[in-house]
């Protein structure tokens, strides 16, 4: 009785009609009662309908992009119009993303100043919303928006300028060989200037977020109050630690982004210009997210000091003295308070920034940032 122990192909075909066994034995095909196709996974057919809104959105984006490019005209690389476009892209990328993550930033700053204040982020948001409402969760959004709009424009526009400036100084051959050094120098130079614009608004933001109830109701009130009490120097008392946080952060942000994007395109089978905008912006987001995680780790101790300095520095207290005092209070471990939250925040933030920035560049007819140093197949 071989059929009971070892099933024949005919038996397997009858029991499992959708397996390769069905091809082994010819079977009579009975036409279906209805001409419809039955799918094992019905949701797989949804994209056919779902693609319509996506295609319409893409068509509208292309139409708006073409209209904008027609009105603005051709943007030559490294022209004043090019740097203006990059500055505008940086304003949008940084201003919108930093404002969107204000609730995370609020809890991070408060937990840096007082680690015992909240047990967790969820508990913090519940406590804040019950005491101050939804508006309380977005405490500090206005100085965040204006500050990072200014900083983002100068950072991204400045990076494109200084990257070209240092590349021209080095010459084509050395610029290609030492491109990572070019990225580091260009980003550091841009951030040094950008932080001068950011510092006054960052000072107001931190004071609003680390005082309960908030010391100021808005940006204008905060700026006036600080100047009235401490003079203009009061707006810049956190500049040194801000440089200490932001310059390493930005150097890591741009250099690691350029490196990761180059590695991704070298791994992909086709060259960058053979991919559409969807793939290119996806690469930008992935490269930005990885860069953001590295940025968060490198700059976090300085970020804690910025929060502490703006909240606890006494009038007239020297920078070295206050830094030594704060470190004596919190120790080395205290410099890492809030790091997990900041990794999530900065990773998402940086990924979205590069996505917005490169999407804007595509919108105005410019190429996305980064790519292989040499075309595939060339050495």
Residue 74 has a CB neighbour count (10 Å cut-off) of 9
Q: What ranges do the domains of the chain cover?
A: 74-364
- What is the Cβ-side half-sphere exposure of residue 170, based on CA atoms within 13 angstroms? 20
Nearest CA to 346 out of 303, 284, 283 is that of: 303
Instruction: Tell me the three state secondary structure of residue 152.
Output: helix
pLDDT band at residue 14 using 50, 70 and 90 as cut-offs: low
pLDDT band at residue 10 using 50, 70 and 90 as cut-offs: low
176 pLDDT higher than 80? yes
- Residues 6 or more apart in contact with residue 355 via CB below 8 angstroms: 281, 284, 285, 288
Nearest CA to 253 out of 360, 106, 370 is that of: 370
Mean pLDDT of 129-135: 88
Q: Provide the pLDDT for residue 120.
A: 84
Instruction: Tell me the three state secondary structure of residue 242.
Output: helix
Mean pLDDT of 209-218: 87
pLDDT over 90, % of the chain:
47
3 pLDDT higher than 90? no
Top-confidence residue, 163 or 108: 163
211 pLDDT higher than 70? yes
92 pLDDT higher than 90? yes
Mean pLDDT of the chain: 82
Q: Provide the pLDDT for residue 51.
A: 45
Top-confidence residue, 13 or 240: 240
Q: Provide the pLDDT for residue 208.
A: 93
pLDDT over 70, % of the chain:
81
**CATH code, 74-364:** 1.50.40.10
115 pLDDT higher than 70? yes
Q: Provide the pLDDT for residue 20.
A: 44
Q: Provide the pLDDT for residue 31.
A: 52
Top-confidence residue, 349 or 318: 349
344 pLDDT higher than 80? yes
Q: Provide the pLDDT for residue 53.
A: 52
Question: What is the per-residue pLDDT across 134-173, written as a single tens digit (0 to 9) for each?
Answer: 889 999 999 999 999 999 999 999 999 999 999 999 999 9
Distance, CA of 10 to CA of 15 (rounded, Å): 9
Mean pLDDT of 261-266: 93
Distance, CA of 134 to CA of 147 (rounded, Å): 22
């Amino acid at each position: 009785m071989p059929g009971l122990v070892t099933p024949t192909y005919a038996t397997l075909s009858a029991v499992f009609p959708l397996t390769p066994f069905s091809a082994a034995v010819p079977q009579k095909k009975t036409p279906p009662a209805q001409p419809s196709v039955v799918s094992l996974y019905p949701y797989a057919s949804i994209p056919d309908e779902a693609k319509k809104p996506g295609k319409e959105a893409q068509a509208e984006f292309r139409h708006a992009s073409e209209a904008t490019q027609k009105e603005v005209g051709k943007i030559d690389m490294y022209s004043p119009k090019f740097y203006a476009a990059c500055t505008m892209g940086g304003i949008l990328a940084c201003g919108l993303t930093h404002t969107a993550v204000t609730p995370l930033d609020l809890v991070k700053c408060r937990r840096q100043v007082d680690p015992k204040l909240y047990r967790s982020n969820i508990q913090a948001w519940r406590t804040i919303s019950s005491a101050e409402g939804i508006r309380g969760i977005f405490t500090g959004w206005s100085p965040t928006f204006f500050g990072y709009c200014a900083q983002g424009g100068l950072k991204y526009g400045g990076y494109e300028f200084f990257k070209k400036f240092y590349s021209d100084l080095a010459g084509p051959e050395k610029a290609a060989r030492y491109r990572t050094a070019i990225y580091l120098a260009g980003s550091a130079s841009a951030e040094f200037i950008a932080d001068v614009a950011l510092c006054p608004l960052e000072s107001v933001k931190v004071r609003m977020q680390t005082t309960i109830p908030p010391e100021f109701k808005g940006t204008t009130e905060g700026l006036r109050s600080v100047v009235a009490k401490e003079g203009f120097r009061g707006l810049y008392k956190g500049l040194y630690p801000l440089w200490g946080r932001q310059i390493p952060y930005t150097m890591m942000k741009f250099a690691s982004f350029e490196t990761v994007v180059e590695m991704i395109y070298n791994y992909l089978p086709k060259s960058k210009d053979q991919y559409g905008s969807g793939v290119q912006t996806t690469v930008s987001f992935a490269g930005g997210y990885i860069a953001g995680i590295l940025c968060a780790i490198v700059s976090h101790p300085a970020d804690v000091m910025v929060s502490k300095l703006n909240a606890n520095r006494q009038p007239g207290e020297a920078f070295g003295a206050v830094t030594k005092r704060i470190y004596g209070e919190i120790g080395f471990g205290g410099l890492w308070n809030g790091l997990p939250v900041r990794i999530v925040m900065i990773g998402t933030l940086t990924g979205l920034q590069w996505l917005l920035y490169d999407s804007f560049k595509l919108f105005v007819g410019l190429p996305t940032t980064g790519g292989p140093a040499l075309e595939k197949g060339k050495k």
